[in-house]
Structure 1
Amino acid sequence: MHHRHRHRQVLAPAALLASLALLLTACGGNSSASTGTGTGTDGSGAVTLNVGDQKGGSEAILRAAGELKNLDYRIKWSTFTSGPPLLEAVNAKAVDIGGVGNTPPVFAAGAGSAITVVAAWHGTSKGDTILVPNGSKLTRPAQLKGKSIAVAQGSSAHYQLVANLKAAGLSFDDVKVKYLQPADALAAFTSGKVDAWAVWDPYTSQVLQTKRGRVLTTGDGITNGLSFQVAAPSALKDPKKTAVIKDYLARLRRATAWVHGHQEEWAKVWAKDTGLPYDVALASVKRTHSTRVGVAVDKPLVASEQQIADTFTELKLIPRKVDFGDFVDSRFNGDLPPSTTPARS
């Protein structure tokens, strides 16, 4: 197929940006586009669930897995560029529920937003990386001292960078951080304007598949690998909405599990939905997407997120102490395994 041809590997950064600009994924940082765009409605019935989504996210995975059939309620979809604006919409009650990575809820909680984590998935952190250009002399994280690193502010990569520096005996002040959204960071990285880039999949896969850089270190064993569905507290006070949310989460868990056994099929859908080359999508699915397991919102999860919150409070990037336990609801756990369950291999 044409997307496997070698010419994919010599695309100029500008050509990559068109597809990557769409992909400020669940882990994404702050974005100027704080509004969602409507993408239609599924199902029928008296109750409408307003779902916040990201490109190649919940809607795509549910549709691919056949989980949007026989809905006796409506799902109205809104697409956001990244996690923080999606959570702003949850706080504003414009969205009932939506999916984000492990760090945006911490920043939203720090801002006193009305948000509640209602479901979680645990996957590997192997797609969360610090990348360096091919010609870089850096071989281990400790050598990042004094170097410039691109990262999206408030993203999962932001915490991954802090945690990896700490593990290497460095502080956040030991490096020159450049806050850049992924599209801008990719341009800076490929033109040599930064020494390293802290990022997540599919950007990791994009850089590796196009042979534009290599992995200095990953988040494996460093970050918690969690992603969440976050609901509006007002929706959870409505019994009809709550019943619908329970059904929606069950469908999403089945769809996520479906990916593990249908990796090529999902990669095709995901590539089409995001504009990514198929080989990049498949690499990202294998490294990250297919490893996710639905887990309980439990005490270890709260403790792990509390660690992220405390880290950003210490760095004065969150203005106050956050009690993350105040921002979770465990009523949808059912018989799910604990949050510490290993990711799928």
Structure 2
Amino acid sequence: MSTRRDFLKLSLGAAATALPLLGTLAPSRAFAASGARTLRIGNQKGALSILKGRGTLETRLAPLGVSVTWTEFNAGPVQLEALNVGSIDFGDVGDAPPIFAQAAGAPLAYVAATLPRSQSEAVLVPHDSTLRTVADLKGKRVAFNKGSNVHYFLVQLLRHHGLDYRDVRPVFLAPADARAAFENGSIDAWVIWDPFYAAAQATLGARVLADASGVVGNRGYYFSSLDYAKRNPDVIRTLIDEIAKADDWGKQHRSEYAGELAKLWGLPAPIVEQAVARTQFGTVPITKAILGEQQKIADTFLELGLVPRRIDVYEAAAPGVA
């Protein structure tokens, strides 16, 4: 249990404390061109870490005169903060953090996306809960990470079932604290993503009230800065191609992929295998339609008072978006 708790504390739960930092970031610094080129990647413990371990990206970029450096982060918002202050050129993130980063003036550019991963987030209830439908959430205490992908999912799920966000009693908790609250019965439901979702099923007997299928996409995104993407389209193309290859390998070798992630996350292999089993693998280009999905999230967060102003997500389109 200690390994799992360490993971819960140090991983995506850090997003809750990182979000406020985005409002106080220093102005972004322009990419400084020099003779040799560098690609500075910020990675979480996930797909990019697996790519790092294989070394294929460095081999592909060497003929272009590009060196690669890697910096590991424990949450997407911290990666975006690093981008805003000019410390990295590329990273991976969920669908919610870029909204806050753009609202804070970060010069980010969406350069690729995953396929929708709707089955990888869900509303969980205790196995003996009397809650059976989404409508049963009315008046109940529902825990989730404020300003996250599951915050948006919950809002849309409630609307999908004829309820309003104000019909539930939100309890804002990072994953580690939400798990503890779920375990001791101080909340009625928990909205969470994998691998926390799979861990709760395996170790707490959590029951799925609803996942995000047919409600929201829950994509992951790869980002750069607008300036770097404009100056280095060949580097970005090569990088996305290598990510897509690793993604395709994971789709065909789910057990081995899960094994690598289990080592990175410090979680038992069966838990990670369950999370990987419902993962939709695939890397796709950014389109206006995909940016439209992000715009809906941004507009929803504005309605909820989570961002201070309306943002135009299309301003974060990398050059060449169709």
TM-score range, shorter chain: 0.7 to 0.9
CA distance 1:68–1:183, shift in 2 (3 Å): farther
CA contact (8 A) 2:57 2:239 kept: no
Matched with 1:257 is: 248
Aligned residues: 306
Q: Which SS does the other structure have where 1:199 is aligned?
A: strand
Give the whole-Å Cα distance in 2 for the aligned partners of 1:258 and 1:172: 40
Matched with 2:295 is: 306
Matched with 1:63 is: 53
Give the whole-Å Cα distance in 1 for the aligned partners of 2:257 and 2:3: 24
Alignment of 1:178 onto 2:178: no
Matched with 1:24 is: 12
Give the whole-Å Cα distance in 2 for the aligned partners of 1:201 and 1:123: 14
Q: Where in structure 2 are there 5+ consecutive unaligned residues?
A: 23-34
Matched with 1:42 is: none
The one-character-per-residue Cα deviations of 1:146-205 (angstroms, maximum 9, x if unpaired) are 111111122111111111111122222221212111111111111112111111111111
The CA deviation at 1:110 is 2.3
Q: In the alignment, which of 212, 228, 231 is matched to residue 205 of structure 2?
A: 212
Q: Which has the higher helix share?
A: 2
CA contact (8 A) 1:189 1:197 kept: yes
- Amino acid corresponding to residue 15 of structure 2 in structure 1: G
Q: Where in structure 1 are there 5+ consecutive unaligned residues?
A: 1-10, 36-44, 334-345
CA distance 1:295–1:105, shift in 2 (3 Å): same
Residues 53-92 of structure 1 aligned to structure 2 (within 5 Å): 53-63=43-53, 69-72=59-62, 73-92=66-85
Give the whole-Å Cα distance in 2 for the aligned partners of 1:231 and 1:214: 38
Could you state the TM-score of these two structures normalised by the residue count of structure 1?
0.82
Give the whole-Å Cα distance in 2 for the aligned partners of 1:96 and 1:217: 37
The one-character-per-residue Cα deviations of 1:192-221 (angstroms, maximum 9, x if unpaired) are 121111111111111112243111101111
The CA deviation at 1:66 is 5.2
Matched with 2:31 is: none
Residues 1-345 of structure 1 aligned to structure 2 (within 5 Å): 11=1, 16-24=4-12, 29-32=15-18, 46-63=36-53, 69-72=59-62, 73-238=66-231, 241-288=232-279, 291-331=280-320
The CA deviation at 1:58 is 0.6
Q: CA RMSD in A?
A: 2.3
Give the whole-Å Cα distance in 1 for the aligned partners of 2:103 and 2:307: 6
CA contact (8 A) 1:134 1:213 kept: yes
Matched with 1:4 is: none
Greater Cα offset, 142-151 or 69-78: 69-78
Identical-residue share of aligned pairs (%) = 35
